Amino acid sequence: MRNRIIELLSAALPMVNLDSDFLFAELDSLGVTTILMVLSEEYGIVLDAKDATPRNLKTIDSIVRMVENKLAMK
Protein backbone atom coordinates (compact mmCIF):
# COMPACT_ATOMS: atom_id res chain seq x y z
CA MET A 1 0.00 0.00 0.00
CA ARG A 2 2.82 2.42 0.85
CA ASN A 3 4.30 2.16 -2.64
CA ARG A 4 0.91 2.62 -4.28
CA ILE A 5 0.21 5.74 -2.20
CA ILE A 6 3.63 7.16 -3.12
CA GLU A 7 2.93 6.40 -6.77
CA LEU A 8 -0.48 8.11 -6.64
CA LEU A 9 0.68 11.16 -4.73
CA SER A 10 3.83 11.60 -6.83
CA ALA A 11 1.65 11.75 -9.92
CA ALA A 12 -0.89 14.11 -8.36
CA LEU A 13 1.60 16.39 -6.55
CA PRO A 14 4.90 16.25 -8.43
CA MET A 15 6.16 19.45 -6.78
CA VAL A 16 5.84 18.13 -3.23
CA ASN A 17 8.73 16.37 -1.49
CA LEU A 18 7.01 13.21 -0.26
CA ASP A 19 10.14 12.19 1.70
CA SER A 20 9.77 15.19 3.97
CA ASP A 21 9.63 14.42 7.68
CA PHE A 22 6.97 17.13 8.01
CA LEU A 23 4.99 16.79 4.80
CA PHE A 24 2.05 18.85 6.11
CA ALA A 25 4.21 21.99 6.11
CA GLU A 26 4.89 21.54 2.39
CA LEU A 27 1.21 21.40 1.43
CA ASP A 28 -1.08 24.26 0.50
CA SER A 29 -4.86 23.87 0.65
CA LEU A 30 -4.98 22.53 -2.92
CA GLY A 31 -2.34 19.93 -1.98
CA VAL A 32 -4.27 18.82 1.10
CA THR A 33 -7.51 18.60 -0.88
CA THR A 34 -5.80 16.67 -3.67
CA ILE A 35 -4.36 14.07 -1.25
CA LEU A 36 -7.73 13.51 0.43
CA MET A 37 -9.57 13.21 -2.88
CA VAL A 38 -7.00 10.90 -4.50
CA LEU A 39 -7.02 8.55 -1.49
CA SER A 40 -10.84 8.62 -1.11
CA GLU A 41 -11.20 7.65 -4.75
CA GLU A 42 -8.52 4.93 -4.74
CA TYR A 43 -9.58 3.19 -1.53
CA GLY A 44 -13.31 3.96 -1.41
CA ILE A 45 -13.00 5.58 2.01
CA VAL A 46 -14.60 8.73 3.37
CA LEU A 47 -12.06 11.42 4.19
CA ASP A 48 -13.26 14.85 5.18
CA ALA A 49 -11.78 18.13 6.33
CA LYS A 50 -11.40 16.81 9.91
CA ASP A 51 -8.92 14.19 8.65
CA ALA A 52 -6.61 16.88 7.26
CA THR A 53 -4.61 17.22 10.48
CA PRO A 54 -0.83 17.76 10.77
CA ARG A 55 -0.69 14.42 12.60
CA ASN A 56 -2.39 12.48 9.77
CA LEU A 57 -0.45 14.25 7.03
CA LYS A 58 2.94 14.46 8.77
CA THR A 59 4.73 11.87 6.63
CA ILE A 60 3.94 9.24 4.02
CA ASP A 61 3.86 6.67 6.83
CA SER A 62 1.26 8.64 8.78
CA ILE A 63 -0.83 8.92 5.61
CA VAL A 64 -0.61 5.15 5.17
CA ARG A 65 -1.74 4.69 8.80
CA MET A 66 -4.70 7.03 8.24
CA VAL A 67 -5.80 5.01 5.20
CA GLU A 68 -5.37 1.71 7.08
CA ASN A 69 -7.46 3.00 9.98
CA LYS A 70 -10.21 4.17 7.62
CA LEU A 71 -10.22 0.83 5.81
CA ALA A 72 -10.48 -0.99 9.15
CA MET A 73 -13.53 1.11 10.06
CA LYS A 74 -15.33 0.34 6.78
Which residues here bind other proteins, judged by CB under 8 A?
A: 12, 14-15, 29-30, 33-34, 36-38, 40-41, 47-49, 52
Query: Minimum Å distance from CB 41 to other proteins?
Result: 7
Query: Minimum Å distance from CB 70 to other proteins?
Result: 14
**CA-CA distance, 72 to 59, in Å (whole number)?**
20
**CA-CA distance, 19 to 59, in Å (whole number)?**
7
Query: Minimum Å distance from CB 57 to other proteins?
Result: 14
Question: Rounded to whole angstroms, what are the CA distances from 51 to 14, 15, 37?
Answer: 22, 22, 12
